Structure formats: structure tokens, C-alpha cells
A and B are shown apart, each in its own frame.
Chain A
Amino acid sequence: MNLIKNILNQKTPFEQDSEFRSTDFLEEMKNLMEHHYENSEEFRNIIINNEYVLTSNKLEELPFIPTRLFKLLDLKSISESEIFKVMTSSGTSGQSVSKIFLDRSSASIQTKVLNHIVKSCLGKKRKDMLIIDSEETIKDRKKFSARTAGILGFSSFGRNHTYALDKDLELNLEKVQDFISSSNKNPIVIFGFTFMIWKNFFLKIQSENFNVCFPKNSILLHGGGWKKLHSEQVDNELFKESLKKIGINYVFDYYGMIEQTGSIFIECSQGYLHCSDYSEVIVRNTQTLEPVGFNQEGIIQVLSLLPRSYPGNSLLTEDLGVVLGEDDCKCGKKGKYFIISGRMKESEIRGCSDTRVI
């Protein structure tokens, strides 16, 4: 807990180098695992039944659990009475949902850390914010989705929130133009989900030959993954080049998941995702799950100092990625920098049945 507080007091959350990861970060990670071992029966069972060791002096040797497990089990290290909020996310399949249990202090730390990371990219002063989504998305609390959570979480980084899409997710151009003119040429923050920014916003503007130009130094922050866009042959380069056409020169992707809300990874000026001092990434070989070196593709393991109310500090995702280096990114930030290169291919369903069981 103290370590998080120390980092929160830093000017930026990108100041610690590899030395820190192998000392303070490692020690705190071990403390957290010890805490979950004491407080989550399921986590304790996993450690005992798999003979995992919590005392290793190497970060990559500490145990990790699959993110998919949060869809199968209620994993928490707090008692029922301490539950303050349960976050749920629909997975890509839409079948099962992850359930994340938060107590008051975890929820508050998530917000503080997210603030710290995002402000380092957006600047301290709050700007007018255009959200590429529909207001209905946050109104309908029955369908509290990852999208809703994302919008609510990020909306605190702007003011005068305006929603660019109507309830059918159609672009309301007039509203966008009014919004731009009301900003008096001050930079705007645009937030949304990668796919929707492309499909419902940019392509619409382009196909209708709309003349839209955002004020200088406007910033677009987007996340949610590239799966759909990659299948349409759109990569980050094309995405950024395209947005320049409507005056948006600063485009930042972020990578995060509901299981580690708060400690997101944000794209730097060089186009790489960065670990913050709250987090770490380890890439593992897809066949052996052993750590691989820089520039080699593998499965992404994410580590975060935040989760305390549920055992989500060390997770094996199903995303593929490549770490390009550590502490020496040209953007000046310390820590590992990496890219997400895709998603693991699911196993085939064979035989006589027709359902994925886990």
C-alpha cells in the first residue's frame, strides 16, 4: 500500500527502472500474494494444489493465473460485507462475464492511479471532452458493460462532455461541429473505443466528405483492442494517419482489462505501450510459458500492484505481444515498452459436442 502511495507522489508514474522491478516492486508483489493466500480460499487452493512458490526472488517466477478464471469463479480476498462494488465485463465471446470485487479503498486507489497515468498524457488542465459513443450507453445501468465502465472512468479527465453518437450509434455531425466551435480553438480531448472511432466516427466523416477540423493539439485517447480493425486491415499507423486528416495529431492507444482496472498501459510518443511504475509486463512463449527476451512474440502476462480485494496481481492474458525494450524508450519514460500483436487462437472444438466448456 505504501509503495502505491509513494508512486502516487511522484511527478509522473514512469520514473522507476528495472532495479525497482527487482526490488520494491517484487517485494510488494510477494506481500500481495501472501495477502491473497491468507484471504482467498480459492487462491490458496491454487497455490497449494499446484505447488506454486510465493517466495521466489524473480518476478517472472511468481505464479500467474489465467484471466479467464475470473469468468469461472468469484475470486475475492474480502468478506461479503466489505464489498463496495462488483464490476462485470462481457468477454469477447459475450457468453460469460468477469466479476471483479472491490472494497472502498481498492475502488479509490484505482481512480487515483488511473488519474495519475492518464494525466501524464493529457496534461493537468481539464479540456473539453468529446466522447465517441452514445449517451444511452452510460444511462442504461442494466447493461453495465466494459464500454460503460470505460466512459465513466475516463470522463473525469474532461469537462463539458459531449456525446458524438445518437442512440443508434449514428454520428451527429452538427453536434460535433457545434462542439468544436464552442471550444474556441482550445484543444479538445476525444475519447472512445478503437473500433467505434474508426467505424462510427472517422469512416462516416470521410465517406460523407464532411469538413471537420479539430483544434490544434487536440488529443484522442482510445482503447478496447484491435481485433476487429485488424480483420479490416487497419493498423495503428493507418489509424493515426487517417485521424491527422481531421486535425487530430495526438493519438494514444491504451491497453487495459477489467481485471486490472486503474493500472492501464498507455501509448507513448514513439507509438509503444508503456508499463507504468504500478505495473509490469512479461512475455511468455506460447508453447512453454517460459519468459522470452525482447523482440520475441509471446503471450502477455500483466502484473499490477493494485488488486488487493481480489487476487488479480499476476495474470496470464490471451493477448499476444512483443516487449521492445526497457528503460531506454526514446520517449523518455522508464519501464518496459511493448506492443500488442494480436490475440491467441482458441483451441478447435471437435468431436460430437459443440460447446466451449471453459
Chain B
Amino acid sequence: MNKEIKFYTNNHFIESDIDLYDFVSSTENKNIPPFSDEVIDFINNFSKSILLDQGSRKFPELVVLADFFSKRNIKKISNKVSNKDNSYALLPLGKTFHIAPSNVDTIFLYSSLIALICGNICLIKLSSQRTEQIDFIIDKLNSVLSQHSNFLKRLFVFNYGHNDEITRRISSHIDLRVIWGGDNSVKEIRSIPLNPMARELTFPNRFSFTVMKSKEVISNQYDLNSIVDSFLKDTIYFDQQACSSPRSLIWLGSQNDNQKAQDIFWKRYLERLPSKDYQNTPGMIMDRFVASNFLSAINLSKRVNSAIDYPTRLKVHDLNSQILREIHPGNGLFYETEVQNIDQIAKQVKNTDQTLTYFGLDNSEISDLLSLISNRGLDRILPIGEALDFSVIWDGYDLIEAFTRKVVIR
């Protein structure tokens, strides 16, 4: 059965007699402490190898990833988890199993590598789809692994076809399972039992949106170019398909201000857009055309412009329908709705909503909003421009806490 598992990393023991099942089921202690020098060195070399390769310029998201895993940033993270009074010891969980979504983007790598930094052993299952980005990353991991042979038994990147039996066998021995993917794949994998002691983290479909305070947008106090650029940064990467990419805009203010704000914002947006690195393929246009037709057919949206335009703007009455969230294809489509007060925003938040990016809200308005939300909705509230910035707190989890355990000492 092990033959079905195809390794992308050069874990040399695979050629020897030990197989992956023996490895995951062995109880031999292979833990190293979280944020150890050796793991920080390893990760920093990985990060450097990306940045030093000119080829990475083609993939801005990989440069951002490399930046996140620089020694400087990892030290900053580790300083925040300092344990001042020594009332506990922070230890890794052990063996962790990370299941990537079947698309080929690299967002899942953040959580996998944070688990590694926490001292865990990482088994990463990729989809069988290979892209330039993934090949690039695998190549870098392999060259860093060859310099850090102690990690050859700590980091495994592999793939196997749709085979629940393999997932079940690995899951029965590991200490943590992390699943990225669409709701259906998450559900499917979750039905495969875990070792009773194991933890599980899931990153299913989420929805994100932006709140613009219209009065602030139209006031001359702020640089409209930078507002527009921040919003563009949040929405053009990953073709607007990351779970934290804003897909909707809520305009907050008087009717008059909302109208004015939309006019000047979108006018400037179209002026700034041509200089940005975005794509608008015929496939993306078709997706917007299908979504606009579908939503207008069931009376959930009205046109502002047409589906052929990039971006396509659809006026929606509110965001209360879950269908609006499920049908949104990304790819340069925005729902827009107008509200007069914070309470009207809170009422539209649904359980699946993840990131609210904002412009012009002050702290008291944000805390008002939070106090008015009466469901599971919202895990991140950030200024525009930061929607895609990864942080160790994600989807409501503190990943450092999730990937370690605290041993109480008195």
C-alpha cells in the first residue's frame, strides 16, 4: 500500500526498509523544543533560498511567504510566546498530518511550517496537481533538506490518490490533523477517525468582505490612491479566491455619502487598475457572467455594470443569503450594499464570515460591531490592505497554541 504514496521530498529512508506507516506508528521520542535554533535555521535557510532565487519574482505570494518565515519574523513570533513565570513548559504535540486543498496554492504551507517550527514532525499531503509554484517550493525544500539532514525525518511532502485507507492509517497514529479545503472535502476527511488523543484543525470555505465608511472616503483627509491600492492588493491576488479575499463591499453612511463614495472610489479604481498585475481571463469573465445571470435570475442581485467589465459590480439588497456566499466565484466580482449604521452590518454577518477589512472605522465602532454580532461570524477585523497577510492567529485559532501543548509545572 505504501507504494501508492509518492514522495516529493527526498526522505532517504523511503528507499530503506522502513516505511511511512512504521514511522508514524513508532513511539520513539523525536521531539525537539518549539522555536529551537535548529528549526529556525532550517526555516530561515528555506526562506532565504526562495528570496535569493530570481525565479521567485514570478510568484509574489511566495515572496510574501518567504518573508513570513525569515529569522527576523520568526524571532518576533517566538518573543510573543515567552513564558515569563515558568509556570509551564511548552512542548510540541508530536506527529502532525497536514492535508492541502486540491488546488495548488501555497496558503496551507503557513500552517504546516508553523507546526514544524513548534517542534513537530510534519507530514504534508499535497494534491496530485503540480504547478510551477509547487515545483519551485519542493525544489527549495529539497535543497535545504540536503543541508539539514536532521530534518529528513521531520518533514515529508507526499501525495497519494483518493485513498481513504491511507488517510485512515496515517490518522490513527498522529497527534494532530490539519485539513484545508472546500466544505465537502473537509467533511469527507473528518469522517475518517483520528487517534483519540489527537487534535484536529479545519480550514473550510469562508467568506470575507470590506466595510467602507463613506464619509471618510469622500473627505479630502485621506489619499484616495492609497485607499484604492490597498483594496486592489486585497482583491487581485489569488484572483480574489482566497478565503480572506474581500468579495463584497458594504458602504456605511448616509445615502448621499454612500453614492458619492462609490462614484469616486470606483472611478479611481479603474484609473489605478491598468498599472496593477491582475488577470482577467475569458474563463474568469465566463464565471462572472454565469454568477451574475444566476443571482439575477433568483432576484438576489441587480447589475451596476456588466459581467464583461473588470471588476463586475452587483448590487445586492443585503448579504443575508447564504447563496451569495456559496456562488461567488472570485475572479473580479463584487457585491455591493449600502447601510446607514453599524447594527445593519452586524445583522448581515454569517457564521462562515472570516475577514472584515475596513476603511474609516474607529475603535469604538469596531467594538460596537463585535458586540452586536450574535453568531460565530468574523475571525479577523483588519484595515484594508491587510486581508491576505498571514498571521499565527488564523480562523480563530492561535496556531502556536494549537500546535503545542503546555505542561504545568509547580
* Alpha-carbon separation in the docked complex, A355 to B105 (Å): 13
Task: Flag if A286 contacts B297 (CB, 8 Å).
Answer: no
Q: Report if A209 contacts B (CB, 8 A).
A: no
Q: Mark B275-287, 1 if CB is under 8 A from A, else 0.
A: 0000011111111
**Residues of B85-116 contacting chain A, CB below 8 A:** 101-103, 105, 107-108
Q: Report if B243 contacts A (CB, 8 A).
A: yes
> Which of B22-30, B179-187, B334-342 lines the interface with chain A?
B179-187
* Alpha-carbon separation in the docked complex, A69 to B287 (Å): 11
Task: Flag if B293 contacts A46 (CB, 8 Å).
Answer: yes
* Alpha-carbon separation in the docked complex, A344 to B290 (Å): 14
Q: Report if A22 contacts B (CB, 8 A).
A: no
Task: Flag if B107 contacts A69 (CB, 8 Å).
Answer: no
* Alpha-carbon separation in the docked complex, A49 to B293 (Å): 9
Q: Which residue of A lies closest to B239 (CB)?
A: A350
Q: Which residue of B lies closest to A316 (CB)?
A: B289
Q: Report if B303 contacts A (CB, 8 A).
A: yes
Q: Report if A357 contacts B (CB, 8 A).
A: yes
Q: Mark A49-78, 1 if CB is under 8 A from B, else 0.
A: 111000000000000011011001101000
* Alpha-carbon separation in the docked complex, A346 to B326 (Å): 19
For the complex formed, measure the closest distance between the CB of A281 and the CB atoms of chain B, giving whole angstroms: 18
* Chain B residues whose C-beta falls within 8 Å of the C-beta of A265 in the assembled complex: none
Task: Flag if B287 contacts A347 (CB, 8 Å).
Answer: yes
**Residues of A311-340 contacting chain B, CB below 8 A:** 316, 318
* Chain B residues whose C-beta falls within 8 Å of the C-beta of A286 in the assembled complex: 282, 285
**Residues of B250-308 contacting chain A, CB below 8 A:** 280-287, 289-294, 296-299, 301-303, 306, 308
Contact of A288 with B281 at beta-carbon distance under 8 Å, contacts A349-B241, A355-B184 already known: no
* Chain A residues whose C-beta falls within 8 Å of the C-beta of B301 in the assembled complex: 49
* Alpha-carbon separation in the docked complex, A110 to B152 (Å): 65
* Alpha-carbon separation in the docked complex, A348 to B302 (Å): 26
Task: Flag if A358 contacts B180 (CB, 8 Å).
Answer: no
* Chain A residues whose C-beta falls within 8 Å of the C-beta of B366 in the assembled complex: none
For the complex formed, measure the closest distance between the CB of A34 and the CB atoms of chain B, giving whole angstroms: 17
* Alpha-carbon separation in the docked complex, A299 to B298 (Å): 26
Contact of A49 with B296 at beta-carbon distance under 8 Å, contacts A66-B290, A287-B285, A351-B107 already known: yes
Task: Flag if B243 contacts A358 (CB, 8 Å).
Answer: no
For the complex formed, measure the closest distance between the CB of A129 and the CB atoms of chain B, giving whole angstroms: 38
For the complex formed, measure the closest distance between the CB of B321 and the CB atoms of chain A, giving whole angstroms: 14
For the complex formed, measure the closest distance between the CB of B110 and the CB atoms of chain A, giving whole angstroms: 10
Task: Flag if A350 contacts B297 (CB, 8 Å).
Answer: no
* Chain A residues whose C-beta falls within 8 Å of the C-beta of B326 in the assembled complex: 357
Q: Which residue of B lies closest to A320 (CB)?
A: B282
Task: Flag if A353 contacts B182 (CB, 8 Å).
Answer: yes
Task: Flag if A66 contacts B331 (CB, 8 Å).
Answer: no
Q: Report if B171 contacts A (CB, 8 A).
A: no
Task: Flag if B303 contacts A66 (CB, 8 Å).
Answer: no
CB < 8 Å A-B pair total: 133
Contact of A352 with B180 at beta-carbon distance under 8 Å, contacts A49-B296, A358-B287 already known: yes
Our pick among A65, A69, A348 for the contact of B239 (Cβ within 8 Å) is A348
Task: Flag if B299 contacts A45 (CB, 8 Å).
Answer: yes
Task: Flag if A66 contacts B105 (CB, 8 Å).
Answer: no
* Chain A residues whose C-beta falls within 8 Å of the C-beta of B206 in the assembled complex: 352
Our pick among B203, B284, B285, B306 for the contact of A352 (Cβ within 8 Å) is B203
Our pick among A72, A288, A347, A348 for the contact of B308 (Cβ within 8 Å) is A288
* Chain B residues whose C-beta falls within 8 Å of the C-beta of A351 in the assembled complex: 103, 105, 107, 238-239, 241-243, 245, 330
Task: Flag if B103 contacts A353 (CB, 8 Å).
Answer: yes
* Chain B residues whose C-beta falls within 8 Å of the C-beta of A49 in the assembled complex: 296, 299, 301-303
* Chain B residues whose C-beta falls within 8 Å of the C-beta of A299 in the assembled complex: 282, 286
Task: Flag if A354 contacts B291 (CB, 8 Å).
Answer: no
For the complex formed, measure the closest distance between the CB of A118 and the CB atoms of chain B, giving whole angstroms: 31
Task: Flag if A45 contacts B296 (CB, 8 Å).
Answer: yes
Q: Report if A11 contacts B (CB, 8 A).
A: no
Q: Report if B127 contacts A (CB, 8 A).
A: yes
Task: Flag if B103 contacts A354 (CB, 8 Å).
Answer: yes
Task: Flag if A353 contacts B290 (CB, 8 Å).
Answer: no
Q: Which residue of B lies closest to A311 (CB)?
A: B297
For the complex formed, measure the closest distance between the CB of A135 and the CB atoms of chain B, giving whole angstroms: 32
Our pick among B184, B286, B306 for the contact of A66 (Cβ within 8 Å) is B286
Our pick among A46, A75, A289, A346 for the contact of B296 (Cβ within 8 Å) is A46
Task: Flag if B296 contacts A354 (CB, 8 Å).
Answer: no
Q: Which residue of B lies closest to A290 (CB)?
A: B308
Q: Which residue of A lies closest to B182 (CB)?
A: A355
Task: Flag if A345 contacts B283 (CB, 8 Å).
Answer: yes
Task: Flag if A51 contacts B105 (CB, 8 Å).
Answer: no
Q: Mark A127-147, 1 if CB is under 8 A from B, else 0.
A: 000000000000000000000
For the complex formed, measure the closest distance between the CB of A36 and the CB atoms of chain B, giving whole angstroms: 12
For the complex formed, measure the closest distance between the CB of A152 and the CB atoms of chain B, giving whole angstroms: 30
Task: Flag if B289 contacts A66 (CB, 8 Å).
Answer: yes
Our pick among B243, B293, B328 for the contact of A357 (Cβ within 8 Å) is B328
* Chain B residues whose C-beta falls within 8 Å of the C-beta of A318 in the assembled complex: 286
Q: Which residue of A lies closest to B325 (CB)?
A: A357
Q: Report if B327 contacts A (CB, 8 A).
A: yes
Task: Flag if A353 contacts B205 (CB, 8 Å).
Answer: yes
Our pick among B101, B243, B281, B294 for the contact of A72 (Cβ within 8 Å) is B294
Q: Report if B33 contacts A (CB, 8 A).
A: no
Task: Flag if A289 contacts B308 (CB, 8 Å).
Answer: yes
Question: A-B pairs with the 4 shortest C-beta distances?
Answer: A347-B283, A49-B296, A355-B182, A351-B241
Which residues of chain A have a CB within 8 Å of any CB of chain B?
42-43, 45-46, 49-51, 65-66, 68-69, 72-73, 75, 286-289, 299, 316, 318, 344-355, 357-358
Which residues of chain B have a CB within 8 Å of any CB of chain A?
101-103, 105, 107-108, 127, 180-185, 203, 205-206, 238-239, 241-243, 245, 280-287, 289-294, 296-299, 301-303, 306, 308, 326-331
Instruction: Offer 6 A-B interface pairs, CB within 8 angstroms, sorted by A.
Output: A49-B296, A316-B289, A347-B284, A347-B287, A352-B107, A352-B203
